Amino acid sequence: MMKYIKLTVFTCLLVFAFTLTADISGASEIGEEEVELPEPQGACSDDSCSPAKPCPNPDESCYSSNGVFYCCVEPPFPGADAVGD
């Protein structure tokens, strides 16, 4: 009887460990997906900007999307807000 209990406990632990590793490997695959950044729409230049560095052209404002900054005359994306001064 004791041998049967040990075998059952071992089987349960084995199933638990397999389930845990399957969940962890599935979660790591989600983090490896590539994020595609949209192309800005409208009149945008290749100049770089940031909240601390304004666009070189005074007619442009600095806009941000997903951590990427764009110098544009108009908002490059719907709902985009200018950053910096």
37-52 residue pLDDT tens: 666 767 888 888 988 8
Q: Are 70 and 84 in contact (CB under 8 A)?
A: no
From the list 72, 7, 9, the residue with the least C-alpha distance to 39 is 72
Task: Give the per-residue pLDDT at 29.
Answer: 55
* Strands laid side by side in the 68-72 sheet: 44-45, 68-72, 61-65
pTM attached to this predicted model = 0.51
Task: Give the per-residue pLDDT at 3.
Answer: 67
Q: Does the structure show a pLDDT above 70 at 53?
A: yes
Read off the pLDDT of each residue in 63-78 and give the average, rounded to a whole number: 84
The per-residue pLDDT for range 12-39, each reduced to its tens digit, is 566 666 665 655 555 555 555 666 666 6
